[in-house]
Amino acid sequence: MEVIILPGPEEVGRLGADRVAAVVARNPRAVLGLATGSSPTGIYAELARRVAAGTLDLSGVSGFALDEYVGIPADHPESYSAVIDREVVGPLGLDPARVRVPDGRAADLAAAAEEYDAAIAAAGGVDLQLLGIGTNGHIGFNEPTSSFASRTRIKTLAPRTRTDNARFFASPAEVPTHCLTQGLGTILEARELLLVAQGEGKADAVAAAVEGPLSSMCPASALQLHRRASVVVDEAAASRL
């Protein structure tokens, strides 16, 4: 695992954007794994600047989001489908027809999850998977005790995750209780992984992922199993390494 420590969030965003740009330079029809949450927003902002400046073209790229809340109204601004549209597809000039988010409103969630994994495989697999990390070590919504072999599936959100994400909702009670998330096994099949984290609040999770034992109690420690995994953090998030 490659660990890169940078002074602050801006440098993390720039390096993340460089990695995305490098993958797309090799293959303009690359498949990107898209993360939501605050961690990758610096990468998306930097990519959007390059697209606006005409130095980067992402219109041929495909994208698969990591996860989605179950049962959240389609028009809710915090559904990951809405977040991906607003923060990624629009600003980065992606083709909406090439970007998918798990269907958290499907009548048959298990079937939707299975179909999502099949769609990733049919697209040729993910070239570069962007990841944030939860304070409890989750990636996507793979909460502690997730199997390293897991596929896209329904998960119950951990109480800590619901508390962490309450800031995006009008009240804690409004945070959904379940999600669809790519599994750890699904994520590990991406050809390259890039996990980004900023701020001291992530320092314990980053230390457990990078230096702790391989453990389902820290799902992000699964990155230790991957041949091309990079962890790019600012100094605050690296403070317990």
Non-local (6+) Cβ contacts of 129 within 8 A are 32, 33, 35, 66, 187, 190, 192, 193, 194
Residue nearest to ligand GLP (CB): 132
Could you give the CA distance from residue 230 to residue 131 in angstroms, rounded to a whole number?
10
Q: Judged by CB under 6 A, which of 104, 134, 137, 219 binds ligand GLP?
A: 134
Residue 67 touching ligand GLP (CB under 6 A): yes
Residue nearer to ligand GLP on the CB measure, 67 or 234: 67
What are the phi and psi torsion angles at 178 (to 5°)? -130, 165
Residue 103 Cβ, how far from ligand GLP at the closest point, in Å?
Answer: 16
95 is catalytic: no
234 is catalytic: no
Does residue 137 contact residue 221 with C-beta atoms inside 8 Å?
yes
- The count of chain residues that interact with ligand GLP, using the rule CB under 6 A, is 14
- Location of structure tokens 């940078």: 6
Residue nearer to ligand GLP on the CB measure, 36 or 81: 36
What are the phi and psi torsion angles at 3 (to 5°)? -115, 125
Residue 141 touching ligand GLP (CB under 6 A): yes
Q: Judged by CB under 6 A, which of 9, 16, 33, 37 binds ligand GLP?
A: 37
Could you give the CA distance from residue 118 to residue 116 in angstroms, rounded to a whole number?
5
Binding site for ligand GLP (CB under 6 A): 35-39, 66-67, 132-134, 140-141, 161, 165
- Residues annotated as catalytic (active site), given as ranges: 67, 136, 138, 143
